[in-house]
Amino acid sequence: MRLTLEQLIRYQTEGYLIVPNVFTDEDLRPVIDELSAELDARAGQLLAEGKLTELYEDEPFEKRYTRLYEQSKEICRGFDINGYLGEAIFRFMGNEGLLDLVECLLGTELSCNPIQHIRAKHPAKSTQSEPDYFQNVPWHQDCAVTSPDSEASEIITFWLPLVDATAETGCMEIMPHVFKQGYINHRSEGGTTIVPEKLPAVTPVLAECKKGGLVIMNKYTPHRGISNRSDIIRWSIDLRYHKTGAPSGRSIHPSFPVRSAYDPASVLTDVTEWRKMWREVKEEKGKSLHRV
Ligand SMILES: O=C(O)CCC(=O)C(=O)O
Ligand SMILES: [Fe+2]
């Protein structure tokens, strides 16, 4: 699939685009299976440590994590792409259908950006405590979580749900057109967010997206996650891509080439190498990786 001229113009005018039916269930299944297996392993470990009493093995992917999380918040520790370093998610970052769309916006020399997440937004009514920043992300632009040396890099966000993301399950809200203003001041208190006095007076659009669809966003497009009022988990993946060689905005974390017309041999296909790069990362304790 390629973006049509109409879609390209819409993205360039509004700073975001929702593309339905990009992924088949076969594209997403390996990632869902891997997340389910990771969850199962974590649950087994916590049970052995006496931190869980019930495994809820019969609960489906859309519900099980919440049942486990209610018993022990510890289950979510490091449960993210760079925390469990799974092969299925690594392969998904090179999904050809996805890269065909990335190529329409960024050209043929593509790298996967290390700012990437798996998010499980639990039903608000189930978690029995305030949802954290990671789950109910407040208004921000993604460039606020990058270092200023990447100002000139086009870093584009590709967000996809693993269940239907709707107003009820807690999809994103997006401010159209605002990206043209460039960076808006953010603050770090309560999670990286646009300073309230600077929040644009723009009516947001609801970025509902069915499973299989994709939401594409410019790094200056303000967006937030809304509350999950349903009884299923709003699972999603957010990936970013940039042109190979451009500053990634997170230089201490590994970027890697996923497609190249000029040097196809440079594409990283070895999951072991990718894991090694992440394991070798040295972070300075207490130093923010965000712009504020
Ligand atoms: O998943 C959400 O609700 C917000 C995600 C987000 O801010 C992002 O992917 O950049
Ligand atoms: Fe974001």
Half-sphere exposure of 28 (CA within 13 A, CB side): 20
Angle in degrees, CA 237, 241, 242, rounded to 5: 165
The enclosing domain of 100 has a CATH number of: 2.60.120.620
Looking at the domain assignment, is residue 263 inside a domain?
A: yes
Looking at the domain assignment, is residue 145 inside a domain?
A: yes
- Rounded alpha-carbon distances, angstroms, from residue 184 to 2, 90, 122, 136, 175: 32, 32, 29, 20, 13
Q: What residue numbers bound the domain in which 133 lies?
A: 5-22+84-279
Looking at the domain assignment, is residue 209 inside a domain?
A: yes
Looking at the domain assignment, is residue 110 inside a domain?
A: yes
Looking at the domain assignment, is residue 51 inside a domain?
A: no
Q: How far is the CA of 30 from the centre of ligand 2 (A)?
A: 24
Q: How would residue 248 be classed by pLDDT, with cut points 50, 70 and 90?
A: very high
Q: How far is the CA of 151 from the centre of ligand 2 (A)?
A: 16
Of all protein residues, whose CA lies closest to atom 2 belonging to ligand 1? 225
Q: How far is the CA of 156 from the centre of ligand 1 (A)?
A: 13
- The pLDDT score that the predictor gives to residue 290 is 76
Q: What pLDDT, in 10s, does the model give residues 77-135? A: 999 999 999 999 999 999 999 999 999 999 999 999 999 999 999 999 886 566 566 67
Angle in degrees, CA 147, 151, 154, rounded to 5: 110
Q: Minimum mean pLDDT among 165-174, 245-254, 283-292: which range?
A: 283-292
Looking at the domain assignment, is residue 29 inside a domain?
A: no
Q: Over the chain, what is the mean pLDDT?
A: 95
Look at the chain and report how many structural domains it folds into.
1
Of all protein residues, whose CA lies closest to atom 4 belonging to ligand 1? 225
Q: Residues with beta carbon inside 6 Å of ligand 1?
A: 119, 137, 142, 157, 159, 172, 223, 225, 236, 238
Q: What pLDDT, in 10s, does the model give residues 181-194? A: 999 999 998 889 99
Q: How far, in Å, CA of 198 to CA of 184, rounded?
A: 7
| Percent of the chain clearing pLDDT 90 (strictly above) | 91
- The pLDDT score that the predictor gives to residue 128 is 59
Q: How would residue 30 be classed by pLDDT, with cut points 50, 70 and 90?
A: very high
| Percent of the chain clearing pLDDT 70 (strictly above) | 97
Looking at the domain assignment, is residue 75 inside a domain?
A: no
Query: CA quadruple 228, 181, 114, 96: dihedral positive or negative?
Result: positive
Looking at the domain assignment, is residue 128 inside a domain?
A: yes
- Rounded alpha-carbon distances, angstroms, from residue 10 to 7, 16, 156: 5, 8, 15
